[in-house]
Amino acid sequence: MKSLEGKVAIITGASKGIGAAIAKGLGAAGASVVVNYVSSKQDADRVVQEITANSGNAIAVQGNVSKAADVHKIFAETKKAFGRLDILVNNAGVYEFHPIEQVTEEEFHREFDINVLGTILATREASKHFGPEGGSVINIGSVASQVTPVASVVYTATKSALDAVTRVLAKELGPRNIRVNSINPGMIETEGTHQAGIMGSDFEKNVVS
């Protein structure tokens, strides 16, 4: 029997990059997986196909985690398809790196809405769907909250906020057998980091060093 056989997991922002890898890993471990995406339906469907091709169970569900109505839909579709929820991975995240002179209100709100508000809204909804045995919430943070690289003031602020959100909710939800943890990876090579021109740049060297 696989270690997560019978479990159900939602991974937000799972059509590409880290989220896609997590979805595939959980699927390989036996979990039924909900691959959440905002606009990349083709990529999300590809992740689902890879999971099901390896005898796993998965569906793709569209939804913007910064919108409460979308979050409700994601969890409703999960319950409809699989009847329960055991794991939530708050992976959805966005970033742009600019010096302080180029920071805009629009970019500030975009990053905080997805990276912080989205995590809070999804965790709030998950807490309603976990059974009496509890569940697990895993937040994907970043080493940026400790390294604090230059030209990342908004992104680093969101990931620092996520560290605090994780600690608060671990205390708040722990008595209900809901574990809340954060994984804070360093620089990971993904489609997004290549598209943003980060890999091989001075910014990458600043983060890694």
Average pLDDT, the chain: 92
Residue 205: is its pLDDT beyond 60? no
Tens digits of per-residue pLDDT, 92-118? 999 999 999 999 999 999 999 999 999
CA–CA separation, 65 and 59 (whole Å): 17
Higher pLDDT, residue 33 or 1: 33
| Structural domains of the chain in order of their starting residue, each with its CATH number | 8-208 (3.40.50.720)
| DSSP per residue, 127-168 | HHHSBTTBEEEEEE--THHHH--TT-HHHHHHHHHHHHHHHH
Amino acid at 32: S
Q: What is the pLDDT of residue 193?
A: 42
Confidence of residue 42 (pLDDT cuts 50, 70, 90): very high
Amino acid at 40: S
- Residues with a catalytic annotation lie at 155
Residue 1: is its pLDDT beyond 70? no
Higher pLDDT, residue 185 or 25: 25
